[in-house]
Structure 1
């Protein structure tokens, strides 16, 4: 079909009218409902979020109670479009992906029975919307849907992460559910499988964090590196971009762009979290020049080995105290407590 180009004057009139129409539309649709956690960047025409409590917006649901009780809350669905939307609701178990992201398990739309709402034995199966599992929302309308969380009598204490998931035509919006069952709590984590990969600016320290308690953790990491030649570098503790859920393990990496060209570096990782004892893990790695560095790098290897041996002798003499003979490690001397290997304490609360 041919496209007719209007004259310049007529085009100006059309643009002016279009501007008025856009301003009118913006005024009509101002202040839409805030998108729920997990909403896609391109809005589906509706939003899902917890009903505000005492006039304040809630970013997620927080429920707490004893085992064997039934908890209640309400989900708000807001249709911000000009057409009706039919949304199905279900509960889902939450977990950490391998790299630490928060995710929910797939499942069927919720039914009238809480046991049929999600696949798996987690807290997602405790959530039920009853007859409101499928909701049709008229245009420009907000619907409030109640739901229940039936906590089984045998539920262990601690955090049971879950989510409420709203679905339409394959598009999902999730709202997190922080559920805590009353009873003793244990905050515990370990650092495992520390390894160093790469060299130079591409060097990275990989490690595994394991939550061995029954509450979610917000960990912080501090990295300390000590070279053979006495160079020490320690970074201040910083929060990790992960919420470690109970019983979960994640594999993370830490960039180390300051890796030396030639040295043996010992890395010590210390991870802390509120309420938990500090956890440490360590690894050592040799950093050597690339093969393309030529004979200069190869010639430095014996020099580096001789310097390391000399440094060892100097440190040993200092430990003996100003040249006064004293017992050495081979003469029954007790090693310094800072060099003792930490005992491997296996904490209960989560399977490996």
Structure 2
């Protein structure tokens, strides 16, 4: 084979081998750098309690009631123009307890700014987890205006965890063909609970209602009270009933309370009224007769005239001896 042809073939074989051995280098060439996405917000690298990675996806703070926890929000502006960002915290608990060093920040081009903030845990805060959110919104005109970024905030309030639950203000009232059982659940502990409520009713002759425990649809926060109603369809028309409510929750929290309920139709209650009225009338007449009678149970009798124009005392009064003697004529015997 001539030298030139052999050289060309060898060159082609080497080029093919290079492509086969390095397909990624041959096929994937770096694309042009994308345009700057605008400013961004994130937890400051290396700050906070956890996680310890340089780039944290959220804030995590932990402290006891009455403590002040500090951290820092990082705002980056990779664009070539100054941007203005407005900051605020949101959410119950951690978001409501958050205080920012500045509510609006201007970030120069190609600059990263750190905004300190604190979370003040109230002294009466119950132990447990809280959540919140830091919102950053671009304001003004130009690059980044209207852009919005959110950073989650997780807070754990430390302290002893107490599970306690009470059932209060139990009452039973008839409502048409049903009975309404009203009661109040109170979370006396330091952590949120999902109570389970069981209902039972017992009459004079045995059980009337057995309702298995059911979990409430929403959690009950520490220190909160919840008014609830249970409907009892078809209660007895005539009975003396004791209704018992039993509440249970995680951590061994439990309590029970009772209420009495007397069921009686209106006719049964109204029937004795005429008899009572008649008895009261007869007693009144008898009392008037006794009040009009004289001593000894007899009415007073008028005195009859005696000899000599005097009067003769009745059998119930003592004789007036002096009057008798004065009325006696001559020859009367003493």
- TM-score class, shorter: 0.3 to 0.5
**Which of the pair has the greater relative contact order for Cα pairs under 8 Å at 6+ separation?**
1
Pair member with larger Rg: 2
TM score, norm. by length of structure 1: 0.42
TM score, norm. by length of structure 2: 0.44
Structure with the largest fraction of strand: 2
